[in-house]
Amino acid sequence: MTVKNRHETDMRPKRVRMRNIHVTLYYRNRPDKNGTAPLLLAINYAGSSTYVPVGNVRLRPDQWDRVRRRVVNHAHAQTINSSAQSMLGRAEDAVLELMRDGGVRGWKLTEVRDAIVSFLYPVEKRDNGVVAVMEEFMGTKDKPNTADKYQQTITHIERWLGSGARRVEFADVTAEWLEEFDRWLSKKGLSVNSRSIHMRNIRAVFNWAVSKDLTDARYPFKKYKIKTQATEPMALTLEQMRMLWGYEPPLKAQRYWLDVWKLMFCLIGINMADLWRLESVVQGRVSYERAKTGRLYSIKVEPEAQALIEAHKGRKVLVDLSERYKSAHRATASLNKMMKAIAKDLGLPPITGYTARYTWATLAASIDVPIEVISQALGHSYGLAVTLGYIMPDRRKVDEANRKVLDLLTGGGEATAQ
């Protein structure tokens, strides 16, 4: 028997162990100052991990289910989950490709990551069409409601042009093209101001495309002027409000939306986007950052409001709006439709969500609530901004004003002016 010496044994080729690659969706619970953190694709290799963002998705800690690895409690949860699962599936396909024939043997983690990213986002001719760029522009918006408004514009363009919508280039967007789109929107029943929102969206995307050197097309908004129509804030009188407050609609859907509208009024004309996001009542108050302005609000929940909340309480949110509708935008459309129908039945002027805000301010003024208190209640600036920065707002004055308005409505007070 021949015995090999130690040196001969050391010269034998060593077997290299295959290192597995594992990919999964991951949410690192380290929120920034806005209370959110990004949703990530985690890539684990050789005992280390690296991360790739899942689009521009940012979540609050309560919007991520760690067990099921899914987005929850989010207005666009279904869309985000679908997109995230699609990305995860493509990453898994990339891993299968890389693991064939020991393709990553000896690779560094950064090399594995770059290979997977190149698989996820292959280099191809950029789509600089209007719809594609608008979708990209939407991704830069932090607020879901803002992104949803641009999605509405895309939806209208696609309904107007059908399969040809994706072929529209910025050079095609002329003053004549905008006029035709405006006429189509008008035929679909959109008001002048509703149509102007879509035109402003197109203009914003056009400006963004120019700033990013995505187009050198002639700017159409030098010739095309966006049409708007002046509207007077329509506040209901005390008599009209009492008629509306005591009305019992025949349809269940109308009764639901009338309750929602009443709650908006009781919360000093709160916007649908903010009511949609409320989660709880804390120490008798609802506190939130207004989606439109970023201002902080804290409103005392009066018994009238509490009763409406209890009647329509959500499972995980304060009111069940987000459990009924996919977005605050769609909920607003349903509210306005139902309230206009109710107004017609009662012989009242058209009522929308904003009518609650205008009416609250008007009734408050009618009982001599000081203008600065009304301004504070609505979140408007009043007086010198620098001076206001040194003054702690007195919420009691707003609370007292809201109580006076509700007492006036229910017969506990009288207006000095109608």
Mean pLDDT of the 82-95 span: 92
For residues 121-132, b (16+ Cβ closer than 10 Å) or e, as one string? eeeeeeeebbbe
How big is the CA angle at 270 (ends 266 and 276), to the nearest 5 degrees?
A: 110
Backbone angles phi, psi at 286, to 5 degrees: -110, 130
Contacts of 286 (CB under 8 A, 6+ apart): 267, 278, 280, 297, 298, 299, 301, 318
Tell me, what CATH number does 344's domain have? Answer: 1.10.443.10
Q: Which helix (H) or strand (E) holds 43?
A: strand 37-45
| Among 38-42, 288-292, 379-383, the least confident range | 379-383
Mean pLDDT of the 52-70 span: 92
pLDDT at 105 over 50: yes
| Residue 100, pLDDT score | 75
Here the contacts of 148-153 (C-beta below 8 Å, separation 24 or greater) are 148/327, 148/328, 148/329, 149/197, 149/201, 149/329, 150/201, 150/205, 152/198, 152/329, 153/197, 153/198, 153/201, 153/202
How big is the CA angle at 234 (ends 233 and 238), to the nearest 5 degrees?
A: 130
pLDDT tier for residue 393 given thresholds of 50, 70 and 90: low
Mean pLDDT of the 195-208 span: 95
pLDDT tens string 296-314 = 889 999 999 999 999 999 9
Mean pLDDT of the 172-178 span: 95
pLDDT tier for residue 33 given thresholds of 50, 70 and 90: confident
Backbone angles phi, psi at 31, to 5 degrees: -60, 150
62 is a domain residue: yes
In this structure, are strands 296-300 and 285-289 parallel, antiparallel, or unpaired? antiparallel
- Helix or strand or coil: residue 405? helix
Which residue, among 352, 325, 295, has the nearest Cα to 144 in the 3D structure?
325
Is there a single domain that holds both residue 263 and residue 380?
yes
Mean pLDDT of the 35-55 span: 92
Is there a single domain that holds both residue 245 and residue 294?
yes
Is there a single domain that holds both residue 374 and residue 244?
yes
Report the alpha-carbon distance of residue 258 to residue 308 in Å, rounded. Answer: 10
Task: State percent of the chain over pLDDT 90.
Answer: 59
pLDDT at 232 over 70: no
Is there a single domain that holds both residue 188 and residue 331?
no
Structure tokens at 245: 């407050």
Contacts of 51 (CB under 8 A, 6+ apart): 26, 28, 40, 41, 42, 43
Structure tokens at 161: 């042009």
Is there a single domain that holds both residue 329 and residue 311?
yes
DSSP character at residue 63: G
| Residue 377, pLDDT score | 86
| 206 to 141, 142, 185, 217, 351: CA distances (angstroms) | 16, 19, 20, 9, 34
- pTM for the model: 0.55
Is there a single domain that holds both residue 152 and residue 60?
no
10 is a domain residue: no
| Residue 1, pLDDT score | 39
229 is a domain residue: no
190 is a domain residue: yes
pLDDT tens string 254-263 = 999 999 999 9
pLDDT tier for residue 14 given thresholds of 50, 70 and 90: very low
- Helix or strand or coil: residue 263? helix
Is there a single domain that holds both residue 97 and residue 137?
no
Alpha helix positions (H), 68-191: 77-99, 109-120, 130-138, 144-161, 175-187
Backbone angles phi, psi at 288, to 5 degrees: -165, 165
| Residue 326, pLDDT score | 83
Is there a single domain that holds both residue 206 and residue 262?
no
pLDDT at 294 over 80: no
pLDDT at 387 over 90: no
DSSP character at residue 313: B
6 is a domain residue: no
User: Count of domains in the chain?
Assistant: 3
| 132 to 136, 140, 162, 196, 266: CA distances (angstroms) | 6, 13, 15, 21, 42
| Residue 2, pLDDT score | 43
| 232 to 196, 244, 354: CA distances (angstroms) | 17, 21, 12
Question: The domain containing residue 91 runs over which residues?
Answer: 21-120
- The mean of the pLDDT values for the chain is 86
Backbone angles phi, psi at 23, to 5 degrees: -120, 145
Q: Taking the chain, what is the end-to-end CA distance rounded to the nearest angstrom?
A: 116
Is there a single domain that holds both residue 271 and residue 385?
yes
Contacts of 251 (CB under 8 A, 6+ apart): none
pLDDT at 11 over 60: no
Is there a single domain that holds both residue 260 and residue 314?
yes
Is there a single domain that holds both residue 242 and residue 371?
yes
228 is a domain residue: no
Q: Which residue has the higher pLDDT, 87 or 141?
A: 87
| Among 133-142, 158-167, 194-203, the least confident range | 133-142
